[in-house]
Chains A and B, each alone.
Chain A
Amino acid sequence: MKRGYTLVEVLMALVILAVLAVPLGYVLENTGEGSARARLRDQALALAQEAWTLSRATDPDSLRDTVWDRDISGARWRIFRDVFDSADRSAAGLPPIRPSAALQPPVEISVCALRARGEDDWDTVRCFRWLRPRMRILP
């Protein structure tokens, strides 16, 4: 004769399952969120690298503060490029840059990639900062 599970056994299994289900659900949820966040960061890095490439190809004296908007897989992105220019120098109390190319300090560039959370709500995902020579570089 085939013996089935007793009620006590089934109840115990259900209790164990319920106890495990909570942390398991938490882990799975975090896993999904973590992966999504990592994907976002990777996208932000790629956008920043794009801005870096663009900045590199631009004559240093033509670099300006710029904002780009991009849509990637349905997500809205905004890339801010800040260039530390003569107005910023003046605001920081630094002397103006001399006209001689040899004496000019490198240009400081900051790029931030922001992702839209709402209509006018932006989440800063990645920011990078670097210096580039102000001299003319030939190919």
Chain B
Amino acid sequence: MVLFGMALALLIAAVGWTRAWSRRTESAHLCLAWQSRLLAESATACALQDAMARQVPAARDSTTKDTTSKRRSTSVQDTADSACGFLGPAPGTMSWEPPAGTQLLSVHARGSVTESGQPLVVELRSIWGGAPPLDPFSPALSLWDRNAGVPRLTGKVRGEVRLRADSAVPSGFVSQPSGGGISDFVPSSLGSDTAAAMDRMAVAFRSEDARLGGARFSPSDPPPDQDSLVYTIGDVVFDGPWTGDPWVPGGSRTLFVEGRVEFRGRMALDSWRIYAVGPVVVQDEAALRSMDIFSEGGVQVSDKASVSGQILSKGSLVLSGNASLAAPAFAAVWPGKGADSVPRIAVQDRAAAQAYLVALGGGAEIRLGPGADFRGVAVSGGLLRVQGTLHGVGVAGRVDCDQSGSDCSDGNFDRPSLPADFAFPLGLPGNLGLRLVSWETSR
């Protein structure tokens, strides 16, 4: 009986001790996980500040550091020399990836604390856009060419049409308010985004990380496990399988390529930043989500491929086949050199796009083909050709169809269909505020 009593006492003690130990461990883990999450959230705040600071580069605060480095990582310490670090003591580290552009922010932030000698990492992926302004986005179509005549629209128009032209305004149309132009619809920070991206490329190609020549990646030969991959004088191809499950290279990386970048086969990428001197080609069933793409050679999305995120490119952006530019998305093109000199955005065949599109320059062109489905805002410094349906807002110097010299559009302008949660670019003139489009946490 004595032995039984002793055994019972030991059992009770062991169970109690085990429970208390696991309780304490769990409590400590919850605490560290929360601090780690707060650090990731703090890194997101820093990434947002970086982006907003880039939008007003001329008036930079003396406490704001240059943010064009390829990766920001801040140890949390008692420091007063960083504009985006903790001033008081806090454990752990935080880091964030600077985006290629600052119109639609895809922020990948990370917080880390140490638990039993191992890092406890929390990652936050968030997408930020601008708030939708009430005006001047109310019309279905705005024309800004001072010399334009009255447009002859043969398609269906739901919503207002605004004209800058001094000519008589036809019945049912309203005149454009004084001042303005397409600049009201073009993010003011596109220039600084471009400059920052080109600087970042130049630094990357001169860095020690740069590899001479291109590369071909596949499931059996995945890209190196590095945050930043740099390839000079050569093309980089991601070759996914043709059948079966899509290849997911994983990780959020930054890729600098001095040539062409191609994604093909069945594959999926999430939150990568691509900087390419040559064209970026996305085809087959490649699915690129929350991307930051900067290209000096144009972007082509074809077949059943899809892209979401931000695209900044010289030359052209062409969506063809059954390709899609999925929400949230922002794309801007500007004049390039040589054969691809005309800034052009084309949504053709059965391609679909839900995006804010900007084509800069007087010779710019946005063309929505007969079978194309477009939802959003299309802003062209030159021509807007709508042969299919534009669900949203069109802003252009002139509308046109194939017969040069005649203003016409046999497509439809359908204003009421602009999605309520549409993500506008952050850099539009006026303080519109930030809007959180999506948020995802992983540990």
Contacts of A2 in B (CB 8 A): none
B52 to A, closest residue via Cβ = A102
| From B31, B56, B64, residue with most partner A Cβ within 10 Å | B31
Known contacts A101-B431, A136-B434; A20/B86 CB under 8 A = no
The bracket for how many chain A residues form the interface is: 35 or more
B434 and A137 within 8 A (CB) = yes
Question: Which of B10, B20, B131 has most chain A Cβ within 10 Å?
Answer: B20
If over half of B's interface residues share one DSSP class (helix, strand or loop), that class is named, otherwise mixed; here it is: helix
A50: Cβ under 8 A from any B Cβ: no
Q: Are A38 and B64 in contact (CB under 8 A)?
A: no
Point out the residue from B3, B46, B61 that lies within 8 Å of A106, measured CB to CB: B46
Known: A24-B9, A34-B21, A133-B49. A95 touches B38 (CB 8 A): no
Assuming the contacts A28-B13, A136-B433, A137-B436, asked whether A37 and B24 have C-beta atoms less than 8 A apart, the reply is yes
Question: Which chain A residues (97-115) contact chain B, with CB distance < 8 Å?
Answer: 97-98, 100-106, 108, 110
A34 to B84, CA, bound (A): 38
A49-B34, A128-B35 known; A20-B88 Cβ under 8 A: no
Task: From A41, A128, A135, give the contact of B38 (CB < 8 A).
Answer: A128
Known: A28-B16, A132-B41, A133-B434. A38 touches B24 (CB 8 A): yes
CA distance A49 to B30 in the complex (A): 12
Bound-complex Cα distance A110 to B10 (A): 44
CA distance A29 to B69 in the complex (A): 54
Which A residues touch B44, using CB under 8 A? 133
Chain A residues closer than 8 Å to B28, beta-carbon distance: 41
Q: Does A80 contact B (CB under 8 A)?
A: no
Task: Verify B87–A84 contact, CB threshold 8 A.
Answer: yes
- Could you tell me the distance in whole angstroms from the C-beta of B89 to the nearest C-beta in chain A? 8
B112 interface residue (CB < 8 Å to A): no
B169 interface residue per 8 A CB criterion: no
A4 to chain B, nearest CB (A): 12
Complex interface: chain B residues within 8 A of A95 (CB): 61-63
Assembly CA distance A136 to B5 (angstroms) = 66
CB of A131 within 8 A of CB of B45, answer yes
**In the complex, A92 has a CB within 8 A of chain B:** yes
Tell me if B27 and A41 are in contact (CB < 8 A).
Answer: yes
Rounded to whole Å, the gap between the CB of A128 and the closest CB of chain B is 6
User: Does B443 make an interface contact (CB < 8 A)?
Assistant: no
Find chain A residues with CB under 8 A from B84 CB: 105-106, 131
Bound CA–CA A129/B19 (angstroms) = 30
> With an 8 A cutoff between CB atoms, is B53 at the interface?
yes
Residues of B412-443 contacting chain A, CB below 8 A: 431, 433-436
A84 (CB) vs chain B CBs: closest residue: B87
Residues on B with C-beta less than 8 A from A103 are: 52-53, 56, 59-61, 64
The answer to whether the Cβ of A116 comes within 8 Å of any Cβ in the partner chain is: no
Q: Which of A65-105 contact B (CB under 8 A)?
A: 84, 88, 92-95, 97-98, 100-105
Task: Give complex CA distance A100, B27 in Å.
Answer: 42
Residues of B within 8 A of A136 (CB): 431, 433-434
Q: Does B339 contact A (CB under 8 A)?
A: no
Most B CB atoms within 10 A — which of A27, A32, A98, A130?
Answer: A130
Cβ contact within 8 Å between B131 and A138: yes
Least CB separation from B9: chain A residue: A24
Contact with A along B50-77 (1 / 0, CB 8 A): 0011011001111110000000000010
> By CB atoms of chain B within 10 A, which of A16, A35, A139 has the most?
A35
Q: CA of A21 to CA of B8 in the docked complex: distance in angstroms? A: 12
Contacts of A101 in B (CB 8 A): 52, 431
- Determine if B63 and A135 form an interchain contact, defined as CB atoms under 8 angstroms apart: no
Interface string of B18-42 (1 = CB under 8 A from A): 0111011011101100110011011
Q: Known interface pairs A135-B434, A138-B435. Does A38 touch B88 (Cβ–Cβ under 8 Å)?
A: no
Is residue B80 contacting chain A, with contact meaning CB distance below 8 A? Answer: yes
Query: Residue on B with the closest CB to A125?
Result: B31
Query: What is the bound-complex CA distance between A38 and B60, given in angstroms?
Result: 47
A-B CB contact pairs (8 Å), 27 listed? A13-B2, A17-B5, A20-B6, A27-B16, A27-B17, A31-B13, A34-B21, A37-B24, A39-B23, A41-B31, A42-B27, A84-B87, A100-B59, A102-B53, A103-B61, A105-B84, A106-B45, A108-B86, A130-B38, A130-B39, A130-B42, A131-B46, A132-B42, A132-B45, A135-B433, A136-B433, A137-B436
Chain B residues with a Cβ under 8 A of chain A:
2-3, 5-6, 9-10, 12-13, 16-17, 19-21, 23-24, 26-28, 30-31, 34-35, 38-39, 41-42, 44-46, 48-49, 52-53, 55-56, 59-64, 76, 80, 83-84, 86-90, 131, 431, 433-436
Q: A95-B61, A129-B88 are in contact. List 16 more A-B contacts (CB 8 A).
A: A20-B10, A24-B9, A27-B16, A35-B23, A38-B24, A39-B23, A39-B27, A45-B27, A45-B30, A95-B62, A100-B59, A101-B431, A105-B83, A128-B35, A129-B38, A138-B434
